[in-house]
């Protein structure tokens, strides 16, 4: 056997090179494993895993290397929100290969006893509720939100007059709808839908003779002035009369559940939430103390509650007071990837003050009590560099079944936040706006700018529940913001305001291009008031009451509306006010299938085609069939001989609208 001799100098070089490699290259990540059947006294190896997520985080903090925590299949019920700070920078919390772990803020309810006198009615006594240590507003059965006892079971009660405006709110009701006995239940809630918001309040008193109920919250806001307003009452024992409903008596701690046919709650997974937040990521306002580089992958965040003050809540727009179940503040360059946010009481995810450069990709948000994702803070109009919320990437996510408690909630809302990229998402099945950008009414400068909203599929929005909403809704000055290549359809308001693209008050400096918008109740495009927005190369088709709307005449150019196709068979072409001619509109194609090519049968804001052009509008526009491939089947691709191409129209490319497969991201 030969011995290899190494010269001393070469040996020194080898040692020095090894030292450099060890110091300059990142250390391999440590792994900690967690499983529901584990033991928090174990070492966290694959064969001897820990049991709880907090124990794994504590162990990770003791490591000098980056740590990945792997969660096996199963439920991980938290006793308090998981809090991560600057010391946890670089941590990864992920599903083990092939697993779908659930991090829950709830507790499974067992020990149900059936009422022998009423088939299907089950009860369980919860001492913590009776003793005042626990109260909840939601129950989930086999992963679905159960209905809190409600009357009427379907539809709504209706007010008989406008709400009174004294120190309390006076509600006038139809005889027999409300019971004086309900005022004795402090946890009872009257829920009313009103224009773009809702009201959730207790009942102070009910006068069954005069048919007047007194509610807290007066004097009512000026906008709460809707005839025949819709409302219902929840959480009174009389309302427990339909299969699938539940009622919680706070004084006795008894939870009653009227089960669906054939369901035994002792064999089902029945969960009541204990927490309102699952995860709080927060550093200090400064680069040295920010949380950096967190990663969450493949985790299911589930089952949190919501909170309403004792005197109830009259929501402002977008359910702003309702916070997120997962909250990120003063944290940078983090990721939520392939996660699920389900059955949460408020908004799912809140990227708040000081959150910067986060990526949320490939996630699903479903069953939220409020909305999906909120970014920025409503009041941070002049944040410093550390407090600014900016630079997020919200990509390839599916958000649906939203607003289940707070109807005015938004799918994705951007407050005082800029340089965000919101793309390739699908948002559907909610009762208010899908994407809202900006939180400033008027023309003041704000940090909400340079947001890119593209290739999103937004559909079945509003669903007749609220009014004054849009597929994409904007507010205030937003220099550099672009809304492009979005597919928006089936926006249905209760009363007014089911719009596709909706630049509302003060919207300024926004480019809206290459979007396809159809089947919107009020119009495909509506600008309330704003300045110098550019609307070009869009398709607006089959919108119902109007195709385009402009509400307020102001002494500046409202918008530049060019190279668009407007195709319709109902309603008016131009709705609301087009009086002062302070807009630029040209090189468009209009086609009303009822009028065909006969321009004399078309109405342009109350004037003929000739007079409209005589006012300086649409001089190069055409009344012509744009020749869609199949308009009846909503195939808005253009045939090669389309006259739109002669005007410079460029067909929107919608092939990659909505979430992309992983291989295409």
Query: For 286-337, how does the pLDDT look when each residue is reduced to its tens digit (9 = 90+)?
Result: 666 899 999 999 999 999 999 999 899 988 899 999 999 999 999 999 999 9
How sure is the predictor about 285, in pLDDT bands with cuts at 50, 70 and 90? confident
Mean pLDDT of the chain: 94
For residue 359, what pLDDT is reported?
98
Tokens of 74: 């199963």
For residue 286, what pLDDT is reported?
67
How sure is the predictor about 591, in pLDDT bands with cuts at 50, 70 and 90? very high
Q: Is residue 388 part of a domain?
A: yes
Q: Is residue 289 part of a domain?
A: yes
Query: For 428-461, how does the pLDDT look when each residue is reduced to its tens digit (9 = 90+)?
Result: 999 999 999 999 999 999 999 999 999 999 999 9
Query: For 180-225, how does the pLDDT look when each residue is reduced to its tens digit (9 = 90+)?
Result: 999 999 999 999 999 999 999 999 999 999 999 999 987 777 777 8
Q: Is residue 459 part of a domain?
A: no
CA dihedral (318, 320, 322, 325) in degrees, to 10, reads 90
pLDDT of 100 over the 70 cut:
yes
Query: For 379-432, how does the pLDDT look when each residue is reduced to its tens digit (9 = 90+)?
Result: 988 888 889 999 999 999 999 999 999 999 999 999 999 999 999 999 999 999
For residue 389, what pLDDT is reported?
96
Q: What mean pLDDT is predicted for residues 576-591?
A: 97
Global pTM value: 0.94
For residue 262, what pLDDT is reported?
92
Number of domains in the chain: 2
Q: Note the residue count of the chain.
A: 665
pLDDT of 2 over the 80 cut:
no
Query: For 106-154, how does the pLDDT look when each residue is reduced to its tens digit (9 = 90+)?
Result: 999 999 999 999 989 999 999 999 999 999 999 999 999 999 999 999 9
Percent of all residues in the chain with a pLDDT value above 70, rounded to a whole number? 95
- Domain encompassing residue 46: 14-72
For residue 644, what pLDDT is reported?
97
Residue recorded with tokens 């740590």: 67
For residue 229, what pLDDT is reported?
95
For residue 284, what pLDDT is reported?
87
Q: Is residue 618 part of a domain?
A: no
Residue spans of alpha helices (H) in 591-664 = 609-614
Among 72, 95, 119, residue at a domain's last position: 72
Q: Is residue 526 part of a domain?
A: no
Tokens of 441: 């009414």
Among 72, 93, 114, residue at a domain's last position: 72
Q: Is residue 212 part of a domain?
A: no
CATH number at residue 67: 3.30.1910
Coil, helix or strand for 15?
helix
pLDDT of 260 over the 90 cut:
yes
Nearest-CA neighbor of 348 among 323, 375, 318, 372?
A: 372
Rounded CA-CA distance 182/204 in Å is: 9
Q: Is residue 297 part of a domain?
A: yes
Q: Is residue 378 part of a domain?
A: yes
């Amino acid at each position: 056997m030969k011995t290899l001799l190494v010269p001393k100098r070469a040996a020194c070089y080898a040692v020095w090179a090894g030292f450099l490699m060890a110091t300059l290259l990142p250390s391999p990540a440590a792994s900690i494993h967690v499983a529901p059947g584990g033991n928090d006294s174990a070492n966290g190896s694959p064969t001897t895993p820990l049991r709880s997520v907090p124990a794994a985080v504590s162990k990770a903090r003791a490591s000098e290397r980056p740590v990945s925590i792997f969660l096996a299949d199963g439920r991980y019920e938290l006793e308090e929100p998981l809090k991560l700070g600057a010391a946890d920078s670089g941590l990864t919390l992920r599903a083990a290969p092939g697993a779908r772990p659930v991090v829950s803020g709830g507790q499974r309810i067992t020990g149900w006893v059936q009422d022998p006198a009423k088939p299907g009615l089950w009860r369980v006594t919860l001492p913590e509720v009776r003793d005042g240590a626990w109260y909840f507003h939601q129950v989930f059965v086999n992963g679905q939100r159960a209905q809190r006892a409600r009357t009427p079971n379907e539809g709504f009660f209706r007010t008989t007059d406008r709400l009174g405006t004294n120190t309390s709110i006076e509600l006038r009701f139809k005889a027999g709808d409300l019971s004086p006995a309900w005022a004795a239940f402090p946890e009872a809630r009257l829920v009313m839908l009103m224009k773009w918001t809702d009201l959730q309040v207790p009942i102070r008193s009910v006068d069954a003779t005069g048919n007047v109920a007194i509610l807290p919250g007066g004097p009512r806001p000026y906008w709460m002035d809707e005839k025949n307003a819709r409302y219902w009452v929840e959480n009174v024992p009389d309302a427990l009369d339909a299969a699938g409903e539940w009622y919680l008596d706070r004084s006795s701690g008894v939870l009653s559940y009227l089960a669906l046919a054939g369901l035994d709650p002792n064999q089902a997974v029945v969960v009541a939430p204990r927490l309102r937040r699952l995860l709080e990521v927060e550093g200090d306002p400064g680069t040295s103390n920010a949380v950096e580089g967190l990663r969450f992958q493949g985790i299911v965040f589930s089952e949190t509650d919501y909170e309403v003050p004792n005197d109830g809540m009259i929501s402002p727009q977008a359910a702003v007071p309702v916070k997120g179940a997962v909250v990120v503040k003063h944290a940078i360059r983090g990721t939520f990837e392939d996660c699920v946010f389900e059955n949460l009481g408020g908004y799912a995810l809140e990227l708040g003050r000081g959150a910067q450069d986060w990526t949320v990709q490939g996630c699903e948000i479903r069953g939220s009590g409020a909305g999906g994702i909120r970014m920025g803070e409503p009041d941070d109009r002049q944040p410093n560099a550390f407090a600014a919320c900016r630079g997020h990437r919200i990509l390839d996510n599916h958000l649906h079944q939203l607003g289940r408690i707070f109807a005015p909630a938004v799918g994705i809302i951007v407050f005082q936040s800029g340089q965000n990229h919101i793309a390739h998402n699908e948002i559907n099945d909610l009762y208010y706006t899908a994407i809202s950008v900006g939180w400033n009414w008027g023309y003041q400068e704000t940090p909400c700018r340079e947001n890119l909203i593209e290739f999103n599929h937004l559909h079945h929005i509003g669903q007749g529940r609220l009014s004054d909403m849009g597929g994409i809704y904007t507010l205030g000055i937003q220099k550099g913001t672009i809304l492009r290549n979005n597919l928006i359809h089936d926006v249905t308001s209760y009363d007014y305001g089911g719009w596709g693209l909706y630049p509302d008050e003060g919207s300024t400096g926004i480019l809206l291009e290459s979007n396809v918008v159809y089947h919107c109740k009020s119009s495909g495009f509506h600008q309330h008031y704003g300045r110098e927005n550019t609307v070009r190369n869009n398709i607006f088709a089959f919108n119902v009451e109007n195709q385009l709307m402009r509400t307020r005449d102001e002494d500046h150019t409202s918008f530049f509306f060019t190279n668009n196709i407007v195709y319709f068979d109902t309603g008016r072409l131009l709705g609301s006010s087009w009086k002062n001619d302070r807009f630029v509109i040209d090189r468009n194609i209009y086609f009303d299938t009822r009028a065909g090519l006969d321009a004399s049968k078309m109405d342009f804001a109350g004037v003929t085609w000739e007079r409209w052009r005589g006012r300086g509008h649409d001089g190069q526009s055409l009344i012509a069939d744009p020749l869609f491939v199949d308009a009846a089947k909503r195939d808005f691709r253009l045939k090669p001989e389309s006259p739109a191409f002669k005007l410079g129209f460029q067909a929107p490319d919608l092939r990659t609208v909505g979430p992309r497969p992983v291989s295409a991201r």
